[in-house]
Structure 1
Amino acid sequence: SYHSRLKEMSKFEEPDILFNMLNCLKILCLHGECLYLARKDHPLFLAYIQEKMLIPSLWSMLKSEFCQLASLAVPQLLHALSLSHGADIFWNLINTNFNSKEWKIRFEAVEKVAVLCRFLDIGAVTKNHLLKYSLAHAFCCFLASVEDVNPAVATRARLLLDTIKGPALQGLCQCLDFQFDTVVRDRPIILSKLLLLHFLKKDIPALSWEFFVNRFETLSLEAQLHLDCNKEFPFPT
């Protein structure tokens, strides 16, 4: 069963064994739709599996030295995030890793997000709101690491940013745009990260005139509504 395969994975470290086990999970998960079926029949058990076993296990597979493992892990991780509870579990996992006091954990988290970004199916990601929400948060934390207080983490983030290909970066910018449009309170941090990316990657139009023009009418309307309600507009001036 899927559950027993997940339990067995934690017992092995050899890449070849893990690769074969991930292949089995891929067949069960993506082709057999076992997680999708579990969402209907056993939602609480699925939430437990996602939080305690599935998402942490797939997250641990995201390493540069084991690209074959990552290539299998990423599609399954994205599938897990698209199901109930997955995005929230991933959000907490990202926060725990990137806000850790241990610089080595932050160092590893930077690598994991970079590897995740390398194997993204951008077409699938941009069609799913939960995936855009999850990846926007992960990429924001990754970009924030460029300014990490630890030089090793900051340097690692800056170097790994250059390993993410243009199409993936453009897709991630779409995720940030989505977060900007849908979560008002996140706008200041999203805008700051888009600005940072704009300076770090000149070839990627993270911020453009169109970005502001396309949102001018919406922002004006929101500002007017807040004024009508005698509230301060939640956007930096």
Structure 2
Amino acid sequence: MEMEHEADAHYYMLTTVKFLCLHCESLLNARREHRGYLIWAQENLLISKLWTLLRSDRSQLAELVIPLIMHCITLPSGEEMFWKVVNTQFISQKWEERFSAVERTTVLLQLANALPVNTNKVIQTSLSCCITHLIASIDDPNIAVAQQALLSIQHMPSASLKLMCLCLESQFDSSIVDRALIITRIQQLTSIVPNVEILTWEFFIQRFEGLAIESQLLAKNGESNFVHDLTHSDPLSELYQRKLTRARQIIENSCNARSIVRTLQNNSMCHQLSTAIFRPSSCMLFKISYNILKIKVNLRIIELK
């Protein structure tokens, strides 16, 4: 596809790939019969190539690419490659690469179908990686990247914002290490779009009890002290056992769960792991307002011509 630059050619090629992968289930068959080849294709042909085709000026291609990316994430090596591709571009020292990463993430979130995301935990946690990067990019040292991220989030459709919250909450539940970072990103999102209900009491109410049980389990040092939930349920009841089992599973799986913090701790930019809440400076607001005004003036000049 690198040899062909016409959007129409890309469109028909992607339509064929989508038909083969999603309708003929060629990748699913390869997982069973040619697993090694599928992993090679994931690493060299699929996710890395599809990611570069997410462009705001070619949304017709993105509508074909996004279902393919989500399908690839659920296959062997797909989740790992998606995290690698996204992280590599967002931590690049070249601001142009980070700018493109912001654009691609925005297109992905705006055009993503909620159904496959809502029903697949792997897709949710994978998308949480690029969502946290997108929100963190409002503090990017380059003003063009920061402005692009800020405007993209402010103009995000409400359905996309809900999808972002769902993915962040999913990562919060699956990785104990990422919880402080996730809460910070949700708070930042709230400050960027104050008119949209992002952080609600339901988020905390649903998790208070789980956090309390997890805390008691982690505090136990081989002692047989009893674990209480907040409602003091009967320890022999099915409800209590379900809560206890879930808390234990989260603790056990957290060590192996894919973590944003662990991924970035040895190779990231300072703002990407920061837990500081976003507060735009007056200088930054002035630059953003000035650039927006300049764009409007240029558009007006073009219209007059």
Specify if TM > 0.5.
Answer: yes
Q: Distance in 1 between matches of 2:128 and 2:118?
A: 11
Q: Distance in 1 between matches of 2:2 and 2:80?
A: 23
2:13 partner SS: helix
The residue aligned with 1:6 is none
- Residue 85 of structure 1, CA deviation: 1.1
Normalised TM-score (structure 1): 0.91
Residues 154 and 192 of structure 2 are in contact (CA less than 8 Å); yes or no, is this contact kept in structure 1?
Answer: no
1:164 deviates by 2.2
Confirm or deny: 8 A CA contact 1:170 1:204 kept in the other structure.
no
Q: Report the alpha carbon displacement of residue 229 of structure 1 after superposing the two structures with TM.
A: 2.9
For residues 110-137 of structure 1, give each alpha carbon's deviation from its aligned partner in whole angstroms, at most 9, with x where no partner exists: 0000000111111211100110011011
Aligned twin of 2:137? 145
The equivalent of 2:13 in structure 1 is: 21
More helix by share: 1
Partner of 1:5: none
Q: Which residue of 1 aligns with 2:218?
A: 226
Give the 5 Å matches for 1:163-182: 163-182=155-174
Q: List per-residue Cα deviations over 1:15-37 (Å, max 9, x = no partner).
A: 11111100111110111110111
Residue 128 (structure 1) aligns with: 120
Q: Please say which structure displays the higher CA radius of gyration.
A: 2
The residue number in structure 2 matching 1:4 is none
Verify: 1:89 aligned to 2:108, yes or no.
no
Structure 1 residue 55, shift from structure 2 partner: 0.6
Q: Is the 8 A contact 2:10 2:61 kept in 1?
A: yes
Alpha carbons 1:98, 1:106 under 8 Å: kept = yes
RMSD: 1.7
Alignment partners' CA distance in 1, 2:69 and 2:126: 11
What displacement does 1:10 show? 2.6
State which of 52, 69, 72 in structure 1 corresponds to 2:64.
Answer: 72
Kept in 1, the 8 Å contact 2:134–2:149? The answer is: yes
Q: CA deviation at 1:45?
A: 0.9
Aligned pairs, how many? 225
Identity across matched positions, percent? 36
Q: Is the 8 Å Cα contact of residues 146 and 154 (structure 1) preserved in structure 2?
A: yes
Contact 1:146–1:157 (Cα < 8 Å) also in 2: yes
TM (norm. structure 2) is 0.71
Counterpart CA distance in 2 for 1:137 and 1:216 is: 24
1:46 corresponds to: 38
Is the 8 Å Cα contact of residues 171 and 178 (structure 2) preserved in structure 1? yes
Query: After superposition, what is the alpha-carbon deviation per residue over 1:196-235, rounded to whole angstroms, capped at 9, x for unaligned?
Result: 01111123322111111111111111111122139xx99x
Any idea what SS the aligned residue of 1:185 has? coil
Measure, in 2, the Cα distance between the counterparts of 1:67 and 1:229. 55
